[in-house]
Amino acid sequence: MTVTEQAFSLNFSLLSKFINEDEKFKYAEIISNIHEEMHASTSKDKGAIGWIDLALKQNREEVDRILSVANEIRDKSAVLIVIGIGGSYLGAKAVQDALSPYFSKQTDKTEVIYAGQNMSGAYINQLLQYIENREVYVNVISKSGTTLEPAISFRVIKSYMEKRYGEEMKNRIILTTDPTNGLLRKLAKEEGFRSFEVPADVGGRFSVLTPVGLFPLAVGEIDIKALLDGAKQATNDLMISNFKENEAYEYALSRYLLEKKGYILEIMASFEPSLRNVFEWWKQLFGESEGKDGKGIFPVSVTYTTDLHSIGQYVQAGKRQIFETILHIRNQKEDHTLKYVDNNFDQLNFLENKTFHDMNTIAKNSTILAHYDGEVPVIQVEMNQLDEYHLGYLLYFFQKACAMSAYLSGVNPFDQPGVESYKNNIFALLNKPGYESIKEELEERLDQIFSENK
């Protein structure tokens, strides 16, 4: 077993009573062909697949510039506000939360907070109150600059920054956007804002390893070079077309075959609460990439053991449409050991010298056994430890698996027509110029729908 396999591995053995190996090998050639197409310079999706070798081609000068601006912000500011939605913030927040303390009293560290991921008036008001009397920088992330949620937040925060800082405001707002097109690129050119580029051939949900994710993480003192090193290793490891030697492809194939057998919901589970937002990123990646043309597995996430006491009963004995992928961290950097208590008031002295991680690992194995007996297919994913390197590996692993999974289902992994549908409706009902032709029709349909369901 190689060092890399020890650091990150999957176990498909618990799928044997749901999928046999002969079924898998029927798709060997198909997977190999998809792989070759993905990596070909003539790929039909060449304009959206720049993430596939991004970590290998990372521009050292760009990384140095990211680190330089991040150092400036940490020296001069108490808060960085990151404005973005979807792939423009989920990846950075996922890594930040996974590697940050659960509780922190640090006052000398620049805090990275988020806006533009919702349209709550209370949220934006309270954010403005929160940053009063604290030095602030802003990072706005959007390829087009027209996505409504971040756009309205930026309008409010830009006005705040202008009133507070005057001309200095232009040095305190950094734009991350398309290299040549879009409203934010135009703004950068016209008003002189500093900017980072999102590669034109990398979509939002695949952009965590670009300045979209790297810059906020660098401000938050995450080691982005180690993150990229993990992604580089994954890129090299997952370059093989044979699914039996490429765990990303075997994961994608296993999901595809389970869906064909009626398992249409995937629960991504962990026993470590800090991974909650990694799973939020994973849900967007797979949900937005696969959910098209009446196809796709619905991605759900849970944190065990917490959620074993809420929806555990359903997972164990509800409708058999669920399969689980359980992510386990083998070695924890921080742990706590139970001690012997003289009066044994809680009758737990049998746990003497057991660590919380020991008990969590036993809980994981016990849960897998129970759910397997309850006819829930289970895939196990294990990482040696939770750090930048292993998270970089994990992020790229899921990106590669997601692309393969979508292609196996016959859908384009890189578009999101369903998202555009609701966006168009919002713009029309908000009277955006150019949408007048559909506004009246939408209002009539809404009246009809609501009147029919009174």
Tens digit of each residue's pLDDT (9 = 90 or more) over 10-50 = 999 999 999 999 999 999 999 999 999 999 989 999 999 99
> Is pLDDT at 216 greater than 80 in this prediction?
yes
- Helix/strand number for the chain, H first, E second: 18, 10
For residue 202, give the DSSP letter. B
Q: Does residue 16 belong to any structural domain of this protein?
A: yes
Q: What gap in Å lies between CA 347 and CA 434, rounded to an integer?
A: 70
Contact 232, 116 (CB under 8 A): no
Q: How confident is the model at residue 374 (pLDDT cuts 50, 70, 90)?
A: very high
> Is pLDDT at 396 greater than 90 in this prediction?
yes
375-390: per-residue pLDDT in tens? 999 999 999 999 999 9
Q: Which helix (H) or strand (E) holds 137?
A: strand 136-141
Contact 226, 55 (CB under 8 A): no
Same domain, 39 and 157: no
Q: How confident is the model at residue 421 (pLDDT cuts 50, 70, 90)?
A: confident
Phi, psi of 54 (to 5 degrees): -60, -45
Q: Does residue 426 belong to any structural domain of this protein?
A: no
Q: What gap in Å lies between CA 226 and CA 229, rounded to an integer?
A: 5
pTM for this predicted structure: 0.95
Q: Does residue 184 belong to any structural domain of this protein?
A: yes
Catalytic residue among 197, 288, 324, 388: 288
Name the amino acid, one letter, at 285: L
Same domain, 313 and 175: no
Same domain, 60 and 98: yes
Same domain, 337 and 377: yes
For residue 334, give the DSSP letter. S
> Is pLDDT at 3 greater than 50 in this prediction?
no
> Is pLDDT at 454 greater than 70 in this prediction?
no
pLDDT of amino acid 5: 45
> Is pLDDT at 453 greater than 90 in this prediction?
no
Q: Among 227, 262, 278, which residue terminates a domain?
A: 227
Tell me whether the omega of the peptide bond preceding residue 210 falls within 30 degrees of 0, making it cis: no
> Is pLDDT at 1 greater than 50 in this prediction?
no
311-361: per-residue pLDDT in tens? 999 999 999 999 999 999 999 999 999 999 999 999 999 999 999 999 999
**Domain residue limits at 196:** 52-227
Q: Which residue has the higher pLDDT, 435 or 51?
A: 51
Q: How confident is the model at residue 2 (pLDDT cuts 50, 70, 90)?
A: very low
Give the chain's mean pLDDT. 95
CATH number of 311's domain: 3.40.50.10490
The predicted model gives 105-115 an average pLDDT of 91
What is the count of structural domains for the chain?
Answer: 2
The predicted model gives 205-209 an average pLDDT of 98
For residue 297, give the DSSP letter. P
Contact 176, 140 (CB under 8 A): yes
Same domain, 90 and 121: yes
**Sign of the CA dihedral running 15, 16, 18, 23:** positive
Active site residue 423: yes
Residues of the chain with pLDDT > 90, as a percent, come to 87
Q: Does residue 315 belong to any structural domain of this protein?
A: yes
Same domain, 244 and 373: yes
Same domain, 332 and 368: yes
What are the structure tokens assigned to 416, written together?
A: 């999101």
Q: Does residue 210 belong to any structural domain of this protein?
A: yes
Q: How confident is the model at residue 182 (pLDDT cuts 50, 70, 90)?
A: very high
Q: Does residue 443 belong to any structural domain of this protein?
A: no
> Is pLDDT at 400 greater than 50 in this prediction?
yes
Q: Among 192, 227, 262, which residue terminates a domain?
A: 227
> Is pLDDT at 248 greater than 90 in this prediction?
yes
Same domain, 65 and 29: no
Q: What gap in Å lies between CA 68 and CA 66, rounded to an integer?
A: 5
Which of 137, 94, 134 shows the shortest CA–CA distance to 117?
Answer: 94
Count other Cβ atoms within 10 Å, centred on residue 359.
14
Same domain, 143 and 88: yes
Which of 264, 281, 239 shows the shortest CA–CA distance to 321?
Answer: 264
Same domain, 11 and 117: no
Same domain, 198 and 334: no
Catalytic residue among 170, 423, 432, 439: 423
Q: Among 227, 249, 267, which residue terminates a domain?
A: 227
Active site residue 288: yes
Same domain, 187 and 243: no
Q: Does residue 418 belong to any structural domain of this protein?
A: no
CA–centroid distance for 111 within its chain: 20
What are the structure tokens assigned to 376, written together?
A: 């829930």
**Sign of the CA dihedral running 283, 204, 327, 115:** negative
pLDDT of amino acid 351: 97
pLDDT of amino acid 106: 76
Q: Does residue 56 belong to any structural domain of this protein?
A: yes
